[in-house]
Chain A
């Protein structure tokens, strides 16, 4: 019933993103530059080894491209919109909208993510295909699994970003806390290096957090490291964490709204 509203919010947000083309271009080249540095570092680490922990050098280079492509799509480094709207007071009007507050932002983030996918994500993989030797999923099924996994990763990552932003309901300056939330994501998601390259205890530790399912799982499915039952299990874990995280968001949100005081002007 509310689907038209969802789509219109998403498409507005999409258009807003598309409007800032020069910024997107600058962002794209920055992401690509860092990708080249990361690819060079991995090549130096591999140093003529054919593979490491089941990932070939071409796979590792592809990993840098995929993760750099995901920065914009998943908004991995920063997203303070909900916090800012609490501070600006815009939250008051938004809460009155005929739509849940979480869904209201989810719709806008869907539009943002889709725009970033076309502005930065897809071009990144094209650039990588031109400049480097990269790998692609081998079967149709693997492509489907990758797309599904990317979607779930976005949903989960959005829920995490939304949740840490809710700190704005409790403290007048939540910037540091939200930043901490992004650092956890940065460290445990397997963004910097494939998690398989880390010591076993670190991998086991990170598996108890939602973070690997935001980046690492998507990468492993794309690279074909996860196959058959392992792949299905990974998708199920992503879905499980997305549901849990959305539940936590709703609970925290209702607690936050109860203590929210809006000053009339």
Chain B
């Protein structure tokens, strides 16, 4: 763990060297999510609701998933498939393999993209805006459950990044397809998932359990009716889905490393 903090502190110091650059980058990252949220907020003024969910409730889904993805993106940027693929092509991964330290830890510590803080701030702002609109009647179990949902989402998205990074051991050109699950997943999870066609929803229920990470917990936390009629314990599957995907991803990553063949560049 000492090594990890050493690696990260080097990252932070180097990014803070160009302070103005850092501020502009962070603003840009923040604005992109601000723009998306304002758009849906504006449009909902005209339409009223999204399939029975008010602006506050949509903001809850949106704020949760933006914040957890932002935190994941900050912590796991070393595994960011696009970036990791580039590093692999340049042979940097081979350099890491030669060092006498855990390869997973080294990749984990190889990037710490501070400008992602912009997305985290914006997500948190939307989340608190949601709370102020919805005013949920939370009891102790609700409040204890919330951090678990958050942690599960971070691990879920982190797992997707790790799977994407591992895929780059086999293909570099088709990596953009991973975006469907990472960025597509966030987009999808920001809305009540009963709005999607059933084949799509089933994929994100039984193949990739995205539905259990934000939508079903929100049904419990916001006391919403469940048009999909899941069993009553479904909201509490979030940690299982989050940790499950994360550990499956690590297993796949280790398998990938064992079968990795450098292109020699």
Contacts and interface: CB of A to CB of B under 8 A. Distances in A.
Nearest to A131: B197
Interface residues of B, number: 39
A262 interface: no
A260 interface: no
B150 to A, nearest CB: 23
B177 A30 contact: yes
A2 B21 CA distance: 40
B180 interface: yes
B21 A52 contact: no
Interface string A4-31: 0000000000000000101101110110
Interface string A91-127: 0000000000000000000000000000000000000
A198 B49 CA distance: 15
Nearest to A47: B51
B47 interface: yes
Contact of B174 (A26, A37, A47, A186): A26
A134 interface: no
Given A30-B177, A34-B187, A180 B197 contact: no
A164 to B, nearest CB: 12
Given A41-B50, A44-B50, A173-B21, A36 B42 contact: no
A25 B18 contact: no
Given A26-B174, A43-B195, A45-B50, A192 B36 contact: yes
Given A183-B28, A202-B42, A30 B50 contact: no
B140 interface: no
Given A45-B43, A52-B47, A197-B46, A36 B200 contact: yes
B180 A47 contact: no
Contacts of B31: 180, 183, 187
Contacts of B43: 45, 193, 197-198
A89 B50 CA distance: 51
B27 A180 contact: yes
B28 A26 contact: no
A177 interface: yes
B42 A23 contact: no
Contact of B184 (A25, A30, A199): A30
Interface string A144-179: 000000000000000000000000000001011101
B179 interface: yes
B25 A30 contact: no
B24 interface: yes
Contacts of A25: 174
B154 interface: no
A176 B21 contact: yes
A255 interface: no
B25 to A, nearest CB: 4
Contacts of A22: 171, 173-174
A70 B174 CA distance: 20
A176 B28 contact: yes
A76 to B, nearest CB: 13
B53 to A, nearest CB: 9
A25 B175 CA distance: 11
Which one of A49, A175, A176 has the greatest number of beta carbons of chain B within 10 Å? A176
A175 B25 contact: yes
Contact of B47 (A27, A45, A175, A177): A45
Interface in B36-78: 36, 38-40, 42-47, 49-51
A90 interface: no
B107 to A, nearest CB: 23
B172 to A, nearest CB: 9
Contact of B176 (A23, A40, A41, A186): A23
A180 B30 CA distance: 10
Contact of A40 (B39, B44, B196): B196
A29 B39 CA distance: 24
A175 B28 CA distance: 10
Interface in B81-116: none
B59 to A, nearest CB: 15
B126 to A, nearest CB: 16
A197 B39 CA distance: 9
A198 B46 CA distance: 8
Contacts of A49: 47
9 contacts: A26-B174, A30-B177, A36-B197, A49-B47, A176-B25, A177-B24, A180-B28, A187-B35, A187-B38
Interface of B: 18, 21, 24-25, 27-28, 31-32, 35-36, 38-40, 42-47, 49-51, 171, 173-177, 179-180, 184, 187-188, 191-192, 195-197, 200
Given A23-B174, A26-B177, A41-B50, 8 more contacts: A26-B175, A36-B200, A37-B187, A176-B25, A180-B24, A180-B31, A198-B42, A199-B45
